[in-house]
């Protein structure tokens, strides 16, 4: 009976965030099949550890598990893609935002933007998903991805510069759309 109550509580507090879980897994894994595997495993693990959930932010809690599940999965299935410690400095990009001509990114179609996000390193990509699609604060992202808040800020800034650069490039090479 107690187990049944636990499942009911889990279905009411955690499972409503399945869309967010799948979205993060989908952006990290890069395809639907692997994303479903990761999201499913993450949800089953979440249920197993539901006892340790203290009723704080269920979405952040679930996404933390999705993230960890993904990186474990990556190590097992695509070890070549594990970057280990990401060298943030090595990924420095020239500052394009200050002197680039204003490009109307608002007009950028979803397919183009999707490709640009997909080309980012996973550590940058997840920052964009957590900040822009999920609306988490810097502090929440830091807690969720277990990095200092300063790293969140610098990764976000770099991710955005890379995106602006690749999207501006798209527009130049693709002409007016």
Q: For helices 110-118 and 149-174, give the axis angle rounded to 10 degrees.
A: 130
**Other beta carbons within 10 Å of 5:** 9
Q: Select the residue interacting with other proteins from 30, 47, 68, 121 (CB under 8 A).
A: 47
CA-to-CA dists, residue 80 to 70, 74, 119, 122, angstroms: 14, 9, 16, 13
How far is it, in rounded angstroms, from Cα 44 to Cα 50? 10
Name the residue nearer to other proteins (CB basis): 67 or 131.
131
Name the residue nearer to other proteins (CB basis): 71 or 138.
138
Regarding 163 and contact with other proteins (CB under 8 A), the answer is yes
**Pattern 52-71, other proteins, x by CB under 8 A:** ---xxxxxxx----------
Asked whether 125 and 24 are in contact (CB, 8 A), the reply is: no
Q: Select the residue interacting with other proteins from 28, 35, 122, 130 (CB under 8 A).
A: 35
Q: Select the residue interacting with other proteins from 66, 108, 130, 144 (CB under 8 A).
A: 108
How far is it, in rounded angstroms, from Cα 33 to Cα 39? 10
CA-to-CA dists, residue 71 to 29, 54, 66, angstroms: 10, 24, 9
Q: Select the residue interacting with other proteins from 28, 126, 164, 171 (CB under 8 A).
A: 164
Residue numbers at the binding site for other proteins (CB under 8 A) = 1-4, 7, 10-13, 15-23, 26-27, 32, 35-36, 39-40, 43-44, 47, 55-61, 95, 97-100, 102-106, 108, 110, 113-114, 117, 128, 131-133, 135-138, 153, 156-157, 160, 163-164, 167
């Amino acid at each position: 009976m107690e187990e049944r109550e636990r499942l009911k509580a889990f279905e009411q507090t955690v499972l409503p965030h399945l869309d967010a879980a799948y979205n993060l897994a989908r952006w990290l894994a890069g395809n639907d099949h692997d994303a479903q595997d990761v999201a499913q495993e993450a949800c089953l693990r979440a249920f197993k550890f539901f006892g340790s959930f203290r009723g704080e932010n269920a979405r952040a809690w679930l996404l933390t598990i999705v993230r960890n599940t993904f990186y474990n999965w990556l190590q097992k299935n695509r070890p070549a893609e594990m970057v280990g410690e990401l060298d943030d400095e090595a990924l420095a990009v020239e500052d394009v935002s200050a002197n680039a001509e204003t490009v109307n990114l608002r007009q950028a179609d979803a397919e183009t933007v999707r490709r640009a996000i997909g080309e980012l390193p996973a550590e940058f990509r997840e920052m964009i998903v957590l900040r822009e699609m999920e609306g988490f604060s810097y502090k929440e992202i830091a807690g969720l991805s277990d990095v200092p808040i300063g790293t969140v800020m610098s990764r976000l800034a770099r991710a955005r510069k890379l995106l602006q650069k690749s999207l501006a490039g798209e527009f130049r090479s693709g002409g007016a759309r």
